[in-house]
Homo-oligomer: A and B are copies of this chain.
């Protein structure tokens, strides 16, 4: 490809969906992450306090893929007062052979939403009980909705509850998602929401734990996906102590900005050398859940291989279009 392909958010929304194909692509990416040859540098993070802004840059190189993505994720927290979403950004895809720019995906964060939700699906597929039918979602934002959609793609979910700090938002989201074979309602009591579910997904930007360890019961799976900065924290650190199995998307990241970070700070975990990553479970290098009564936790902070995988997936969709045109 000598010309650079520029794709807009609208084009990407039409072609790339949260579906089993996207979940498969992200599953493969996590499996690749543990293999030799994959390179994923630490996140470049820039804080701009005077404009309440931050920028994260993520990338990863996966041998065998035709390209690799570099993702720019800005978050500007005064944007809602200007009628704009806080987050936006784009992905640039470069050739793995020549480094030349192949495509610019002006997705405003849409592909990140997809790959983040898909990771929740992958975690549930590999860690939750196969018969999980009840979900509890903490939070009422975009990822609350998408994480529930992802669960429904991998587990026979029939009922879900939504808990959010703002009960009106929880009610509105529940009303929107209810129906089509799925019963969804808001639950004002966080402990009862947790007790209800086989799978709990926390999707908040909370700086203080919202899921308490003594709410957990045998057989549950928890995915915590809201924490992506060192000062964010959704799980009471004792949850990690209580769980039979804690799995990171990438230990080197969850040490710094995930739920593991809070547990390390609390001194509840000292040694991280044995912690499995999601890719280890997918590749069968770690058995994962070994009994229906275990409590499992997946700690997702978002990785550059997911970005490279979803960007490659998006480009493939458009290449197919071009062939059929």
Contact = CB atoms under 8 A, between A and B. Distances in A.
Interface stretch (A53-61, A211-219, A236-244): A53-61
Interface of A: 4, 6, 37, 39, 41-42, 44-48, 50-51, 53, 55, 57, 59, 61, 63, 68, 70, 72, 74-76, 79, 82, 84, 87-90, 92, 94, 96-101, 104, 106, 108
A48 B41 contact: no
Contacts of A48: 39, 61, 68, 96
A83 to B, nearest CB: 10
Number of copies: 2
Given A48-B39, A59-B44, A59-B57, A88 B100 contact: yes
Given A79-B98, A88-B99, A98-B79, A44 B57 contact: yes
Nearest to A70: B72
Nearest to A41: B46
A96 B55 CA distance: 11
Contact of A41 (B39, B45, B82, B88): B45
B57 A70 contact: yes
A108 B79 CA distance: 32
Contacts of A39: 46-48
B99 A53 contact: yes
Contact of A51 (B70, B84, B96): B96
A55 B84 contact: no
Given A45-B41, A57-B59, A104-B104, A98 B82 contact: yes
B96 A101 contact: no
The 8 closest A-B pairs by CB, nearest first: A74-B99, A76-B99, A44-B44, A41-B46, A48-B61, A88-B100, A76-B98, A53-B99
A43 to B, nearest CB: 8
A90 B93 CA distance: 11
